[in-house]
A and B are shown apart, each in its own frame.
Chain A
Amino acid sequence: MTTLPRLPRPTAPTAPTAKDPCPCAEPARASGHPLLAIIGCPNVGKSVIFNRLTGAYVTVSNYPGTTVEVSRGHTTVGGCAVEVVDTPGMYALLPITEEEAVARRLLLEEHPRQVLHVVDAKNLQRMLPMTLQLLEADLPVTLALNMLDEAEELGFRFDAAELGRALGIPVLGTAGASGRGIAELRAALGAAMTARAECAEYNSAAPVCAEGDSATPVGGVCITYDARIERAVGAIIALIGRPAALAERALALLLLQGDAEIEALVAARASPAALAQVRAIVAETAAQFAQPLRIVIALRRQAVANDIIARTVQAPAEQQRPKLEWLSQLLMHPLAGLPVVALVLYFGIYQFVGMFGAGTLVGLLEENLFGGIINPWLTSVIEGWLPPLWSNLFVGEYGIFTLGITYAVAIVLPIVGLFFLVFSLMEDSGYLPRLAMLIDRIFKQIGLNGRAVIPLVLGFGCDTMATMTTRVLETRRERIIVTLLLALAIPCSAQSGVFLGMLSQVGPAALGIYVAVIVLIFLTVGLLAAKVLPGQRPHFYIELPPLRLPRISNVLVKTYTRLEWYFIEVLPLFILASVLLWLGSLTLQGGQLAFVPHAGLFGAIERALDPLAALIGLPTTADVAQNPALKFTGGTILLTGFFRRDFGAAGLADLFADGLLSPVQVVVSAVTFTLFLPCIAQFLVMKKERGLRTALGMAAFVLIISFGAGALLRVMLMATGWMGR
């Protein structure tokens, strides 16, 4: 590379010690390791490269103060341990969605020692401007031309070395999915992150721009904008200096483009007078252009990118049609596409998750493994050790092992796991965006756009997780409608798995009634919400990535990561529910504290909930008193269902398996509990995302609709006598 002057960095360098073989330890970070941040647009294979670099030991957590997920892992490059972070997809350094804002905040606040910008090689032309933006921000960048094999098949040829020289950074061709180029990438990252000389200063090799060129050199290129913009940039830099980890020039450009977050950042450090002057410069400059400044600036950056590409990339002469184009067109066909949706739902969800997962797998695990082997053994052991009062906490009616862990592991885990597998397949194959474009027109009627299909489909897996992903939606109105619909009419996989299993055993009519009622309520509430809630009509646009055969290893890693998150979320709540049920069943008997189901505090609550249970025809405390085989009243299911909706569902399945529910009871309770209040985890996420007032309002609405619909359905079914009484 070139030996040109280097730009000083604000971070304090770390002096290597004799003990520390790696010269680049970073004590400032909690992990003590330097950070490698992977960034790029959605659909470029960032996560696959992340997984290739880090292996399986990954933690997925919310970025502080947000619900946007960020994956972190560790790896070794150049003999040094480094922390790797996989950021949410980002189209430009100027964020629009919350996810993009998180990705940028990470760059601003965590001072990555190296930024790996992953691009889709065949789309380099539209992604290179962001590389330029990163260089403009004075970040130490390595560029990975990913999915290289796909691009080469289309006829692209890249001169990575020349591109590297043009940009002044390492550029490597990779194909994350097959592992091609990963070793070289690792080596290049190692060299960039650990070379001794590079410790004090990051390794952006910068040439000097031509005399009189006001632009700060950016990597190997000089990006000069329109003279009026350059003047404004100069004036803003003079006013604000460098208040953040981004280069002054990049900050000034972001300010010119109306970036509120950067403005807030500047406001915190600059004087009000300086800020007012900055605002005046921005307004004055914007007035000189017919187009918004962000477009003027983007066009210029694109022109520079085009120029670089013309020198380093050989593109196919003709616009190429992607592989599997015929299949893509079939999936998007307004008529042929719908049967495909039906097939995907029938085989992917109903047969695979519902029948195989909730039926076969749950049967094996719950009845045979837990019911037949583990729980009887545990019960005998624990009952031998502990007096009945305490043994009931672990292995009794509501025991932590016999109820909490059994439900979580034997009922919920297999169903949710299979759903996540199907969802990951849909995601990796590129089917979801095609589903979104098919359904957009219908969703417009309920105040949404096709984009909302992603959180709603994910809701069939886990409503809590889906509520978090409502952030991909752009307007507040859409987020509220989707949150409400998720809370009300989308059964999570654990619920639907259990209910579908029960309903299909009752008969096709039961299943039909259930589906019809839920769809009807989904559409009605959606239509009403769209009418009631003010707001602009959302635009729909979505990128359609080429259809790909999903790689099993990537699908499994993804499924595993989701499942791990889910399980960590679920298991404590199931255990807590068991403990609370146990506590609530403690009562004084002959001056002694004893465990008696349906007595104590919970008994009182169950009795209080009897009217609601009776409303939808579920067992009341009186019924349970008559028939000791009934483990739960409707009240118990309601109460436990609030800890986890799926817990309530599992309780119903338990009663059904013991032959204690009539067909009408099955249909009515399936409808009611599908619509019923979300589980506590989802409620907490709703509160976090939408605020307490909205969350409480939605909860009250859901409660009324669910029991109203359940009671009405019951009256109608009983009146017709169609399914017996």
Chain B
Amino acid sequence: MSHQHLSPEVEDYLEHLYMRQHEGYTGELPALSDRGMGELLRHHLAVLEDGGVTLTQDGLAKAERAVRRHRLAERLLHDVIDVHGRDVDHAACEFEHSLHHGVDEHICTLLGHPKTCPHGRAIPPGPCCREQKRAADAAIAPLSTMKKDERGTIAYLSSRQPETVQKLMALGALPGAAVHVIQLFPSVVFQVGQTQIAVDSALAGDIYVRRAGER
């Protein structure tokens, strides 16, 4: 069922439902034929509730992929084929329905895993994007896992206590600051700017550093 192709009509409808439920889209939903509605309900992609149509879990996943294909298509047409304006919309509407079976992944990779469509709306990430992010993240690691004398720059602070983050920032440990690990035990000692700071390993685990000179 998951590889079964839906009709273009149903895909468009799903996309609009997705935008309405997740992106605050308030416009009209496209017209859907009785056949289309039957297809939607038969595959349990949506349910009828209080006179409205709501996506199911399965429908949401399908809708997300459809939105992704649509926006990737837009990106492709806009960036590579150099189509602009209203032409993008029309062409993309036609084009998106043929991007099945991993073709979207290839295009996404080709385009460098874009985050937004030409209209500035977010492109839901696919498996290829998550894979790519994991590879990129290997270069970003918690301070606690770095080695003595290693250098890097702070990428972000992930502590859930805003006060702790504020204190660290007041000490100069801001995103973008250069760090140098001085010692790891019994406490983690590092230098940012001209300040040396000692933190416990839990806190050091919340400071993510982009390592310099990735081996």
Contact = CB atoms under 8 A, between A and B. Distances in A.
A96 B183 contact: no
B180 interface: yes
B160 to A, nearest CB: 10
B191 A440 contact: no
A126 B172 contact: yes
Contact of B162 (A154, A292, A321, A328): A292
Contacts of A440: 186-187, 198, 200
B182 interface: yes
Nearest to B157: A295
A631 interface: no
A334 B182 CA distance: 13
B193 A92 contact: no
Contacts of B164: 539, 541
A542 B189 CA distance: 10
Contacts of A122: 194
Contact of B186 (A295, A321, A322, A437): A437
A541 B168 contact: yes
Interface in B150-188: 159, 161-172, 174-175, 178, 180, 182-183, 185-187
A426 to B, nearest CB: 16
Nearest to B168: A541
B79 to A, nearest CB: 27
B191 A539 contact: no
Contacts of A537: 202
A91 interface: yes
A329 interface: yes
A542 B162 contact: no
Q: Which of B167, B180, B194, B200 has the most CB of A within 10 A?
A: B194
Contacts, number: 115
> Which size bracket describes the interface of B in this complex?
20 to 34
A104 to B, nearest CB: 14
A708 B53 CA distance: 75
A540 B198 contact: yes
Contacts of A436: 198
A434 B197 CA distance: 10
Given A125-B193, A437-B189, A544 B166 contact: no
Nearest to A295: B165
Nearest to A91: B170
Given A92-B170, A540-B199, A543-B171, A292 B194 contact: no
Contacts of B172: 123, 125-126
B166 A96 contact: yes
B166 A298 contact: yes
Given A437-B189, A440-B186, A541-B203, A154 B194 contact: yes
Contacts of B199: 539-542
B197 A544 contact: yes
A540 B193 contact: no
A332 interface: yes
Contacts of A662: none
B195 interface: yes
Contacts of A332: 183, 189, 198
Contacts of B165: 292, 295
Interface in B103-133: none
A441 B198 CA distance: 12
B197 A539 contact: no
A147 to B, nearest CB: 10
A41 B170 contact: yes
Interface of B: 159, 161-172, 174-175, 178, 180, 182-183, 185-187, 189, 191, 193-200, 202-203
30 contacts: A91-B171, A96-B163, A96-B167, A125-B193, A126-B170, A126-B171, A126-B193, A294-B162, A295-B166, A298-B169, A302-B169, A302-B174, A322-B196, A332-B183, A334-B186, A439-B186, A440-B187, A441-B186, A441-B187, A450-B187, A539-B199, A539-B200, A539-B202, A539-B203, A540-B199, A541-B197, A541-B199, A542-B198, A543-B196, A546-B196
Given A123-B172, A544-B195, 16 more contacts: A120-B194, A123-B193, A123-B195, A126-B174, A292-B162, A328-B196, A332-B183, A437-B187, A438-B187, A441-B187, A540-B187, A540-B200, A541-B167, A541-B197, A541-B198, A543-B195
Interface of A: 41, 91-92, 94, 96, 120, 122-123, 125-126, 151, 154, 292, 294-295, 298-299, 302, 319-322, 328-329, 332, 334, 433-434, 436-441, 444, 449-450, 537, 539-544, 546
